[in-house]
Chains A and B, each alone.
Chain A
Amino acid sequence: MEKHAIIVVGGGPAGMAAAIAAYDRGVTDVVILDREPHLGGILMQCIHNGFGLHKLGQELTGPEYAAVYEKKVMERGIKVYYEATVTHVSPDKVVTAQSRQGILKFQADAVILAMGCRERSRGALNICGSRPAGVYSAGTAQKLMNCEGYMVGKKVVILGSGDIGLIMARRMSLEGAKVEAVCELMPYSGGLTRNIVQCLEDFGIPLYLSTTVAQIHGEKRLEGVTIAQVDERRQPIEETKRYIPCDTLLLSVGLIPENELTRACGIPMDPITNGALVDDICQTQIPGIFACGNVLQVHDLVDYVSEEAERAGIGAAELILNGAASGEAIPTKPGNGVRYVIPQNVRKTGNDVSLFLRVTQPFGKVKFTVTAGDQVLAVAKRLKAAPGEMEKITVKANMLENVTEPIVVALEEL
């Protein structure tokens, strides 16, 4: 069995950044396994710009952002197995993959899980009606259009105002399609504000909040959808039903971390994030197995994916070089107005610790308070907060020194 210090599962933005960071920290025997014939993951179909503003200080398109990291991978001579689909990761860190060369088996000292996420599909929504062609997940349509040059439709309705749906509204408009409506079940958009402006307002596309697609019509090809406003229980209101003729329905209704390998490995999961429970270096509860990027929590910005992955890469390298860090783990918990907090465990290692979280609903001006018992560890104010925008709050190392009780992050509206 081939042996490597670190095996990274997935060569998207998270996998590449983790591998590079581990290498630069001193563990050079790093291998990346990816199921595609190229690195970059989902970035390769995200041809719009806006990537890298935080992390690289420039505004890049998805493929350009990926190329920055791919170059670093190549410069370091990090070994990449392409078209190698990992089928199993065992708790003792044996990684099994299917490839053109047959079944590959590796023994690793540390494994970094960076499989990303996938889209929620029509089947998960229970939309009634027939099953015609022309119903796509937004990301599938994005790949067909941007990579293969296949125009998926001319008259479009989009369900879900997540970022991919918004980006596709603009993309299809630019390519000459008419986007009739974007419907959002919730009373607020799940996408970034800048995408609402650039993708909808610029093209005069209406966004209907508290609205869903109640029925799909058409035999062979989609002919139209019935949309309806929803009540507080998110059920369609009969009197508000309205028919929109269209040949294409795009679904942008949420992303699901792709954690089959994680679950099969027996790694404890967080039911809210649908990702693994991790500590401040992205280590799961199985020592030596790390998780980062969208497989850990669905991010809105790739810049934060890269940062998270770097922590995982450095963590894995340090574990190999120095052994497990001592120091007790303190659990974190979401408080008022906060849906989840990552990491779920913080060790006192003498370093500052960044907490990542999402709020439960849109808020105006808020104050986040990080407490442990009656001790206030950090305070952060924001002009606004929304579930679509991840928040980061850093707790200084010296504040953590005397903490014994769980760390709670809560917000109050100002």
Chain B
Amino acid sequence: MERNITCIICPRGCPMTVKEEAGKLVVTGFTCPKGEKYAIDECTNPVRTVTSTVRVSNRKDTMVSVKTAAPVPKGKMMDVMALLRKTAVEAPVSIGQVVLTDVFGTEVVITKAVD
């Protein structure tokens, strides 16, 4: 089976092809090793970083942006969103501050400071 994958590691967006040859995945079309790894991961265990917001409970109409510190399985993005919807933080918060731990093997951290 052959699968065409556009690399999303960087904005270059290399068009890659993954083929199975003798039980091994072979990638062509990449320009850096990160791309090759991405193509294989995309066929075996696709992951995405989730970025979203959580409410700041002690500030009016204020959201603060957060992200998963590492990518989570692609199929779990909506589960992360469901957890974030139930989450609020209290200002002040700083970049890198952990909001949730143990989220599909990683953490959710703040990406914007609120004084």
Contact = CB atoms under 8 A, between A and B. Distances in A.
Interface of A: 44, 47-50, 53-54, 59-64, 67, 145-150, 174-176, 192-194, 196-198, 202, 300-301, 383-384, 389
Interface residues of B, number: 29
Given A61-B67, A67-B113, A47 B13 contact: no
A193 B4 CA distance: 13
A47 B111 CA distance: 8
B112 A174 contact: no
Interface in B57-96: 61-63, 65, 67, 74, 77-78, 81, 95
Interface string B2-20: 0000111111011100000
A47 B51 contact: yes
B3 to A, nearest CB: 12
Contact of A146 (B53, B74, B78, B113): B53
Given A53-B10, A192-B13, A194-B11, A149 B55 contact: yes
B62 A202 contact: no
Contacts of A149: 53, 55, 61-63
B111 A174 contact: no
A382 to B, nearest CB: 10
B53 A301 contact: no
Given A174-B50, A193-B6, A202-B74, A301 B55 contact: no
Nearest to B11: A192
A174 B81 contact: yes
Contacts of B81: 174-176
Contact of A49 (B15, B63, B67): B67
B97 interface: no
Contacts of A44: 112
A61 B74 contact: no
Contacts, number: 88
A50 B53 contact: no
Nearest to B13: A193
Contacts of B55: 149
Contacts of A194: 6-11, 13
Given A47-B52, A53-B9, A146-B65, 20 more contacts: A47-B112, A48-B51, A49-B51, A61-B51, A61-B67, A61-B112, A67-B113, A145-B53, A145-B63, A147-B63, A148-B61, A149-B62, A149-B63, A150-B61, A175-B81, A193-B13, A197-B8, A197-B13, A198-B48, A389-B11
Contacts of B50: 174
A175 B61 CA distance: 17
A300 B88 CA distance: 33
B94 to A, nearest CB: 9
A368 to B, nearest CB: 16
27 contacts: A47-B53, A47-B112, A49-B51, A53-B11, A60-B111, A61-B65, A61-B112, A62-B65, A63-B95, A67-B95, A145-B53, A145-B63, A146-B65, A149-B53, A149-B62, A174-B50, A174-B78, A174-B81, A175-B81, A194-B6, A194-B7, A194-B8, A197-B8, A198-B8, A202-B77, A300-B11, A383-B14
B28 interface: no
Nearest to A176: B81
A150 B62 CA distance: 10
Given A147-B63, A175-B81, A197-B8, A63 B14 contact: no
Q: Nearest 9 pairs between A and B by C-beta?
A: A193-B13, A63-B112, A47-B65, A194-B8, A149-B63, A61-B111, A197-B6, A48-B51, A148-B61
A196 B8 CA distance: 9
Contacts of A63: 65, 95, 111-113
Contacts of B62: 147-149
Contacts of A59: 49
Contacts of A147: 62-63
A64 B53 contact: no
B8 A301 contact: no
